[in-house]
Amino acid sequence: MKRHFSMLRDFQLADWFTLANAFCGTGAIFAAMRFLQDGHRGDLLFGMALIPLAFIFDALDGRVARWRKSSSTLGRELDSLADVISFGVAPAALGYACGLQGGWDWLVLSYFVCCGVSRLARYNVTAVELSGEDDKVKYFEGTPIPTSLLLVIVLVVAAASGRIGDALWWGEWRLGPWLLHPLVLLYALSGSLMISKTLHIPKP
């Protein structure tokens, strides 16, 4: 009889690093929620600190997979799902916790997450086409989703200097029935760069 699929038995070492990435991203989301509940800025900063840690795990899983020669379709799908959490949903949740809570902000943050999901889906589909003779992808189409770490760094500076909530940089604009915080446009830019097809970035 063909044995049933076992998560523990079939995971490779690199996959555990990928799960650590997802664990950090999930923790960042919970930290943002905790900040909104209790208002302790330490919770918010802790959540932000988890994103660079997720970035480290994301970099290590690929290195471990190449070192162990254990890359697989399962690992690639796991990596994409973890990246959606840590570099898509988590930065959006942290931005919302920092004060990007206007109606237009919601739309832009949702657009940012959808761009990240679309970018990862496109990469998984086109990875084979973009591979060279050594079966390695030579370049990224659009910026990789982990570049959203830059957005989190901006939020860290804002939170550390007390420029969150009503004190957000550049204030707020009322456009029709909803509010827009200009800071959220950084998310719009980041998302748009992710889904760019003309922007080619060499893959290390």
Per the CB < 8 A criterion, the answer to whether 104 and 179 are in contact is yes
Summarised one tens digit per residue, pLDDT across range 83-141 is 999 999 999 999 999 999 999 999 999 999 999 999 998 888 876 565 555 556 666 78
Whether 3 is in a domain gets the answer no
Q: How many domains is the chain partitioned into structurally?
A: 1
Summarised one tens digit per residue, pLDDT across range 44-69 is 999 999 999 999 999 887 777 666 56
Whether 1 is in a domain gets the answer no
Give the structural domain span for 123: 10-202
Q: What is the CATH number of the domain that holds 145?
A: 1.20.120.1760
Whether 127 is in a domain gets the answer yes
Structure tokens at 16: 């555990």
Whether 5 is in a domain gets the answer no
Note if the pTM is more than 0.75.
yes
Nearest 10 degrees: Cα torsion 53, 87, 147, 108:
-140
**122 torsion bin: left (phi>0), alpha (psi -120 to 50), beta (else):** alpha
